[in-house]
Amino acid sequence: MNERITLKYDVHCDDFTRAGEASSSVKRKLKLMGVNPDVIRKVAIALYEGEINMVIHSYGGTIEVIISPSVIEMILRDTGPGIKDIELAMQAGYSTAPDNIRSLGFGAGMGLPNIKKYTDDLKIESEMGIGTTLRMLVYIPLEE
């Protein structure tokens, strides 16, 4: 795998049944490309948490995944209310998700902490009333 591959997906808000389709597709593609399984799992989990966040909190957006030989870059852009206090949102257990989301198994305040845990770099830009962009990197270790 020497070339750079870019994958793009649209994410729709409130479509909880389809939430995770983009992450699932990325995971399958990485598997077919023979990427290291630990890298795949880190990418899949971080992307899935991010995708779920977009479905729950935003008005919709796009996911762009750029796969190159040494790193996988994921850019999640949404339009939406934005994150008021990013530092607070990064704390495990802090959540603004409504009760109906909790009954669906999410909204435990673990989304962003999990994303941070599974990525090698995470940058969050958010503007109130405009939207949020997450840039995440997962490095691919050199094969021995």
Partner 1 sequence: MTIKDVKDILGARFICGEEFQDREVHAACGSDMMSDVLAFVKDRAVLLTGLCNPQVIRTAEMMDIVCIVFVRGKQPDETMIEMAKEREIALICTGHRMFSACGMLYSKGLGGGAPYR
Tell the smallest beta-carbon distance from residue 50 to partner 1 (Å): 11
What CA–CA distance (Å, rounded) separates 78 from 75? 10
Position 68 contacts partner 1 (CB under 8 A):
no
Give the residue, chosen from 5, 8, 37, 98, that forms a contact with partner 1 under the rule CB under 8 A: 37
Q: Which amino acid is at 36?
A: N
Q: Are 60 and 109 in contact (CB under 8 A)?
A: no
DSSP H helices, the chain, are 21-32, 37-57, 86-89, 99-102, 111-118
Taking CB under 8 A as the binding criterion, the range among 82-90, 102-110, 119-127, 130-138 that sits at the site for partner 1 is: 102-110
**Which residues contribute to the site for partner 1 (CB under 8 A)?**
16-17, 19-20, 23-24, 27, 37, 41, 44-45, 48-49, 52, 102, 104-111, 113-114, 117
